[in-house]
Structures are given as structure tokens and as C-alpha cells.
Structure 1
Amino acid sequence: MKICRFNSDRIGLVQGDLVLDVTERFNRQPTWPLPHGDWIIRQIPTLRADLEAASSKNCETFSLTSVRLESPVANPGKIVGAPINYHAHIEEANADRQINHGHTYTTLERYGLFIKANSSLIGASDLIEQRFPDRRSDHEVELAVVIGKTARMVTREEALDYVLGYTIGLDMTVRGQEWPGFRKSVDTYSVLGPWIVTSDEIPDPNALDMRLSVNGEERQRSSTSLLIMNVQRLIEYASSFYTLYPGDVIMTGTPDGVAPVQPGDLIEAELQSVGKVQVKMAPHFARPE
């Protein structure tokens, strides 16, 4: 099942080249104080049978090419990042002073995970607004894991039971000496899309090919089979430090090939079994409002 968010917070199922509007099947009136996590994502497991029965006969439908695709998760409590989770990326980071700024990267366990601000989140139809004309901003394509139920101190053997599904993540990054969570939390620097593919359709998230191109030039090509910490281990590691709630997102790390982008660039990312997403850089650097 492919679940999207479209046209100003409508909830859809993607079936071929159609989007079925299933918004009215959800309770959209949470009580205050709001529960942890994303209010819509936490309802999906209990609505599975109803959603699977949706069809063009009982839903309003739209052409996929006609809708505006937003981030499939609207309100993640946390966006968790894995900074150096491919050996080839560690090697390129250590060889490029604009990336490492004098640091030598070794193992993920030494540096741990980091949190990106959820205010940095956008979807496929939004523009990435680059900051700082005098600083380098890079693309980083990643498998993004969407948590489906509360996970606290789970083992790697049971970790996938807590996954709702998977989507493509772009972990945009300002290079510099500051901590990653600061440099990666710029407005619009977290991209998810185009939809969530539920975990039943991807039995092994650790065997997915991925690629990224900029303006038609391939920059990154790899596979999640090369992750240092695989998806199960990342969930175990993250949940050992803090509780993961429905809608929380784990960005699993980027492979080698990271490189700068410029205003006006077109980024295309593809992830096996999930799909393809095109995201545009805004034609100008971000401006104060």
C-alpha cells in the first residue's frame, strides 16, 4: 500500500496513476494535549482493512500527475539521522576538508545519531530554499524509515515489527563546523516523498538499490545492503536512547557521492520498491520574510 499526503493535507492511496482520497476514514480531531507522534500515522495500523478495501468506486479519485504531493508524514515528533553509516561515505568525508573540517570520522557508534528539527520538513512538490550563498550545501539521498507504533528499548530481532513503511529521504546539509543536527535542520532541508510504501511490500529494507542525479547527472548510486548499521540495528540503537513514536522518521544515512547543489537545480532520487521523486531547488537563495 502506498500512502500519500496531497493537496493541502488530504490523505491518499496511490494505485497506479491514480490517487484515492481516503481522508474521511481518519479521525482528524485530536484532543489536547496532543499525543506524541503523528496523529494520522498512529491510526493507519487500525485502519488497514478499511484502507485496503478502498477503490475508485467508493473514493474520489485524482490523477497522480495532477496532485500536489506533500511530505507523507505531516508531524513527526523526531527526525533521526545517522551521520556516517556507509564505509564509502566515511572515506569520502575524511578525504574532503569541506566535509570533515579537520575531523576524522571512524564509527557511527562513536558519534551516535542526531536529531533534525521537524520544522525543516517538506515534500516532493515543495522547493528546497538554499541558505548561505557563501557556504556549501550538499544533497544526501537516504532510505527513510517511518515508525508505526511506539518503540522503546526494542531488540533488533523485533525492530521491523515497529515499522509502518519506507519512503525516500533527502538529508540536505550545510557544510561547516557546527554539530550536524544544527546544520541539517535548516528550513526545507529535510525532504520526504513521494509516499510511504508499507512494510508488507518491502520485506527486506536492507537490500534496496538507490540513486540520485542532479540536472540529469548521476551523483550517487548504492544499496542499503552496504549500510554499516542496518535498519533493525538503527531502530534498536535509537530506541535504546529515546522512545520512538508513530510518525517518527529515521534517516538511515547516505552513501558516497554527496556534492554541492545550486539554486535552480533539479534533484531526482530513486529508491527500489519505493519509487522516484523529483525535487527542485528554489531559483534563488532564501530571503527573510
Structure 2
Amino acid sequence: MRICRFNTDRVGIVEGDEVFDVSGALACLPDSRWLFPQKDISIAELARLLPLMSELKEQATPTPIADVRLEAPVANPSKLINAPINYRAHIEETAANQEIAHGRDMTKSIWQWGLFLKANSALSGAGEPIRLRYPGRRIDHEIELAVIIGTQCHGVTRDEALKYVAGYTVGLDITIRGPELQSFRKSADSFAVLGPWMVTADEIDDPGCLGLELRVNGQIRQKANTRDLVYDVPKLIEYASSMYQLNPGDVIFTGTPEGVGPIEAGDRIEARISEIGELRVDVAPEIVALPRHDPVLEEMQC
């Protein structure tokens, strides 16, 4: 099943080019406005919601998906977890290009780098533009398979890992190049794009064999397959859960392949993953005015 969020927290089932509003299914969930649990309740209760959604779909009037504003398919993750340098060809291109590496040793393995977190406030969906900042700095696109955790887990084994997945979606890990730690320069508002919807785990037989393709203004920039991941999806879940308790709604960005490149104000990004769909998102035509100065550029000019 393809499940989307749209038009300010409506929930829909996507079939073809249409969306069926099944938001009424959420009425069975507890009112958590005062509890703020560290999980996404709709993902935690997905098994209970799916049959209700299916019933409501039969009564719903479809709306062309082009007429709705798509939001991130998961609303309240407790963590956005990222895997660095997880494709061999991306490691090689990064090691060869100091505009990307900025003096770092990019020949290390993912287990030497570890994972890192992006701020939850960076989360956005297809209907929201990517908002650039820091004029004069290179800002890159990075397409990634994003895994949405469905069940709380900690210390799971690789063999058991996929049992804890709710679904998959297309991720864009937007990145300011520079010397800062990843968790800072990748956490600007709108820099963690998810969409266009979540495909439930039962529809993806093998997350280790999915084609990825990203275009900017119609030009292919990235093209790869998840079979080339250094740490595949089960290994990443095992690795992440060895450090963090994973909660329903948590997202694991699995890493980007080769072909990363700069984006500019006004660009259109189209990111497709086979068996999931295509995420289309615009880069805002204006650059965010703040900060009024860039300490990195100032230091480089001294």
C-alpha cells in the first residue's frame, strides 16, 4: 500500500495518479498532543490502521494527486539517522574531489565513520521547496533510499532486522559542503526531504535491489542500485540499533551513490527509486537571508 500525508496532515492511499482521503482512520488513535511520545503514533499503529484505511478508501472520492500538496510521509520521527559514504563509487569520487571532502580522509569505511543524526526540523516533503542558505557555498543533492522503522527495537540482528521495517520512501539528503560536522551542515530546514509517499514493507521484496535515479532540470546526475550499498538495509538497522533504540517512525537514510552535485535556486529535482515512485521537489527561487555572514568563507578569505 502507498500511504501519503497531504494538505496539512490529511492521510491518503495512493493508487495510480489519484489519492483517496482516509484520514478518518486516525480517529482510533489516542490524542497525544500533551504526551509527545518519542515515536510516530500512526506508524506504531500501522497494522491496526491499514484495514481501516482500506475500508475508507472504498467510500472515498479520489482526488488527482497533482491537486494536493504532499508532505513527508512520516510526521513525527524521534530520529533521522544517516549513513555516510555507503557506496564504494561515492567514496572514490569524494576522495578525489576536495570540494566534497574538505580535507577529510574519505578512504575510511562506514564503521570507522559511524552514523550521524540530522535535526528533525530539517524534515520536509515534496510539496515544500528546498530552501538554500549560505550564498557562495556549494550545496549538493544526494538521493537515498529511506527506511521507516515500524516497531520499537534495540540490538536487533541482521537476520531479524527487516521485521522491524514499516516501509520505504525516497530521501534527499541535502548537504552544504564545508569543514563542519555532517550533523550541522546537513540539518538546515528543508534539508531532509522524504516522499512522495511511503510504500509499506510488504510491497518491497528486496530493498537490496532497487534502482535509484536523480535528475536536476531534466539532466541525469545520479544513477545506481541499492545492491551496491556497503552496508545493506539489514546491516544498517543492526548497526543503528546497536547504539540507538529505534522507535516507530524513525528514518534511516541509507547513503547516497556517486554523482552528487550542486543545486541552485530555482532548480527542479526529480528523484526516483524503483518500486517506490518519483519524488519531485523544487528549490526555492530565493536564498534564505540568514545568516548574514558565513564564518567559513570569512576564515577562507583571511
- Shorter chain as denominator, the TM-score bin is over 0.9
Unaligned runs of 5+ residues in structure 1 are none
Instruction: Give the partner amino acid of 2:266.
Output: G
Find the counterpart in structure 1 of residue 74 from structure 2.
73
Distance 1:18 1:231 in 2: 30
How far residue 177 of structure 1 moved from its aligned partner, in angstroms, is 0.7
How far residue 275 of structure 1 moved from its aligned partner, in angstroms, is 0.4
Find the counterpart in structure 2 of residue 110 from structure 1.
112
Tell whether the 8 Å contact from 2:216 to 2:267 is kept in structure 1 after alignment: yes
- Which 10-residue stretch deviates more, 38-47 or 224-233? 38-47
Distance 1:129 1:18 in 2: 28
Find the counterpart in structure 1 of residue 17 from structure 2.
17
Find the counterpart in structure 2 of residue 286 from structure 1.
288
Tell me the TM-score normalized by structure 2. Answer: 0.93
Distance 1:207 1:141 in 2: 15
How far residue 28 of structure 1 moved from its aligned partner, in angstroms, is 6.0
Tell whether the 8 Å contact from 1:45 to 1:148 is kept in structure 2 after alignment: no
Tell whether the 8 Å contact from 2:151 to 2:248 is kept in structure 1 after alignment: yes
- Which 10-residue stretch deviates more, 162-171 or 23-32? 23-32
- The question of 1:275 aligning with 2:277 is answered yes
Distance 1:73 1:227 in 2: 24
Distance 1:45 1:125 in 2: 27
Provide Cα deviations, 1:45-75, integer angstroms capped at 9, x if missing partner: 22222223343x4224322111110111111
From 151, 154, 157, the counterpart of 2:156: 154
Provide Cα deviations, 1:220-268, integer angstroms capped at 9, x if missing partner: 0000000000000000000000101010000000000000010001111
Tell whether the 8 Å contact from 2:2 to 2:14 is kept in structure 1 after alignment: yes
Find the counterpart in structure 2 of residue 183 from structure 1.
185
Higher helix share: 2
- Which 10-residue stretch deviates more, 12-21 or 229-238? 12-21
- Which 10-residue stretch deviates more, 70-79 or 14-23? 14-23
Instruction: Give the partner amino acid of 1:147.
Output: I
Q: Percent identity?
A: 50
Find the counterpart in structure 2 of residue 229 from structure 1.
231
In structure 2, the CA distance between the partners of 1:28 and 1:64, relative to structure 1 (3 Å rule), is farther
Structure 1 moving runs of 4+ over 3 Å: none
Tell whether the 8 Å contact from 1:263 to 1:283 is kept in structure 2 after alignment: yes
Instruction: Give the partner amino acid of 2:69.
Output: R
CA RMSD of aligned residues (A): 1.3
SS in structure 2 at match of 1:235? helix
Find the counterpart in structure 1 of residue 34 from structure 2.
32
From 39, 45, 48, the counterpart of 2:47: 45
How far residue 29 of structure 1 moved from its aligned partner, in angstroms, is 1.6
- The question of 1:100 aligning with 2:86 is answered no
From 137, 140, 144, the counterpart of 1:138: 140
SS in structure 2 at match of 1:128? coil
- The question of 1:258 aligning with 2:260 is answered yes
Provide Cα deviations, 1:102-132, integer angstroms capped at 9, x if missing partner: 1112100000000000100110011001011
Distance 1:118 1:66 in 2: 27
Instruction: Give the partner amino acid of 1:98.
Output: E
Find the counterpart in structure 1 of residue 84 from structure 2.
83
SS in structure 2 at match of 1:158? helix
How far residue 36 of structure 1 moved from its aligned partner, in angstroms, is 1.5
Instruction: Give the partner amino acid of 1:121.
Output: L
Find the counterpart in structure 1 of residue 213 from structure 2.
211
Unaligned runs of 5+ residues in structure 2 are 292-302
Tell me the TM-score normalized by structure 1. Answer: 0.97
- Which 10-residue stretch deviates more, 25-34 or 227-236? 25-34
SS in structure 2 at match of 1:110? helix
How far residue 287 of structure 1 moved from its aligned partner, in angstroms, is 2.5
SS in structure 1 at match of 2:261? coil
Tell whether the 8 Å contact from 1:212 to 1:268 is kept in structure 2 after alignment: yes
Distance 2:33 2:183 in 1: 31
Provide Cα deviations, 1:125-156, integer angstroms capped at 9, x if missing partner: 11001011111100000000000110111111
Distance 2:171 2:246 in 1: 18
Task: Count the aligned residue pairs.
Answer: 288
Distance 2:199 2:211 in 1: 15
SS in structure 1 at match of 2:90? helix
How far residue 98 of structure 1 moved from its aligned partner, in angstroms, is 1.1
Instruction: Give the partner amino acid of 2:210.
Output: L
